[in-house]
Structure 1
Amino acid sequence: MGTNEHLTDEDRAVLLLREAMERTAGELPPLPDLAGPARAQGRRRTARLRAAIGGGVLAVAVLGVAGAAALPGGAGTADGVTEAAASPSASAPAQASPSASGPPPPVHIEPSPGESSMAQLPPAERIRQENFQDQAVTVLQDLLPEAVGTVQRTDLTVRQYQATKDGNTFVVIFSVRPASGRGDGRRTCIEVKGQTCKKATLPGGIEATAATSPEDGGLIASRVSFRYGASDVLLSVRPDTGTTVSAPVTKEQMLAVAQDPAFLGLVRTADSRPMEEQQTVVQGG
């Protein structure tokens, strides 16, 4: 007893922990006289039980030490114990940031004079369109070639997205618009003025046309278009005129996106509950 008088509060806590663990383990019943694999299994179960009980005692003892250290004049105020307890980064597990588990935030685009934006939509409709955009971002990010970069939705209109890679910014248009009844001229392709086309049949017998064509400055834009249900569908990637870089997508890659079930699932959703107004000419591609 005289020896314990010279121990610190932390040393006494360690001794208390050791005695409690020995006492707890000693109170467990002895292993039954089993044979072969059954005996080994019994040992493993008993070891796990003792470890679990010991862990519970350890947790209680550690809490006791931390509590003693927090008291005025308590041991541990200068050995790092209280610092660890007070620092969330030292004691709490790392938490994943919200951006790591979902699509990237939208890109803000200021509407032109007289132009409306998604912010002006009724709240329920705005939420519906934003949810659709988030789904579209996930699908487009997975299906478009890596050279396009990181795909983000914009807050201007449900049909407009943006992709960035190595300092280049490409406007991505994904439009599912109620058909005008006059046909979509983009599904017919004439290979003139540098424009090249390729056709393919999508699931369900849908005919799609993909094309690459030069825009102002000779930069190349890529697109694919087709009629689905009652809607005209357009997916286009436009060049970055600021850095003079053409859209890094081929006709074949655009057709591969259009044929994918995940992309067609998005089209089906937008066709059943339109988010765009009917328009004779589909812009942006």
Structure 2
Amino acid sequence: MKKIKQAIAAGVISLAVIFTGGAVFADHSGDKEIAVVKKGDTLYSLAKKHHMSVAQISDLNDLKGTTIYPGQRLILSGEEAGYHKIIAGSFSKKENAEKRAALLKKKEIPAAIGTAVIAGKTYYRVQAGAFKDKKNAVKQLEAVKKAGIKDAFILSKEELHIFGLKPGDAFDEIVSRMGKPKKTETQLNIKSLYYQSDGAGLRVTLNKKDGTIGSLAVYPEYLSPRMFPALPFTKDEVVKMYSNSDKTKTVTCYESAKCEELTYQLDHLELKARIDRDQATVQFLEITDLNYR
């Protein structure tokens, strides 16, 4: 999920008149909360109630202004768990990456070579460590730059999830976060949840052993951007939320059209985002536990 802006907006914040009130649901899978806006709420009142700033809530939910709406579900949470990699170079030729890694090792800085596939082309990345704590990553970055690698940078990856949901969560967490669907269809261990009348907004494959989420697919065209502002509905919003993908490729979608597929991986989780042929609209997001394939 997106990182919270640290600076709190100063001065008087002009607020539009807002409709809503603030039921809050705990998400036990990640220490997150959801605020369901009710009549009478304002963005400022929600921020004050939950000891946050307006800027923090706006950033977490990608809000374009200060107006919020009845029934809108807003995420209230801090930074997600993940890791911070030190990238000390990215090269199209492996031998150049090997030279960079050798240079770092001479300076007694650990280095490893990984790959990233972008637009069908493979790049060799030199990694000089990965850290859970960003403060340690910053210290390592300083050491790498002192070693002469001035273009080194931190690549942060947060825990993969969709609207705070991920494989291993209880099925009931979907209703806690997304709200009660208008209709649910069940076929074997697959549940389709309808939040609008025209199509299933979510499809969930449940683990047969314990009934938890094995994989989750979200179809934004059947969900309301107004009600779920923290969901990515466009490619730009996907990249803003999850950063650059580990892999991108062109795939054939409906009517032989060419679509783009972005793939993210972290630990045992994999998230795919299918982008429509207009190169902008998200067809679906799917997160899977690779251990249950």
Q: How would you bin the TM-score normalised by the shorter chain?
A: under 0.3
Query: Which structure shows the higher strand fraction?
Result: 2
Which entry has the higher C-alpha Rg, 1 or 2?
A: 1
Q: What TM-score comes out, normalization by structure 1 length?
A: 0.22
Query: Which structure shows the higher helix fraction?
Result: 1
Instruction: Identify which of structures 1 and 2 has the higher relative contact order when contacts are C-alpha pairs closer than 8 Å and 6+ apart.
Output: 2
Q: What TM-score comes out, normalization by structure 2 length?
A: 0.21
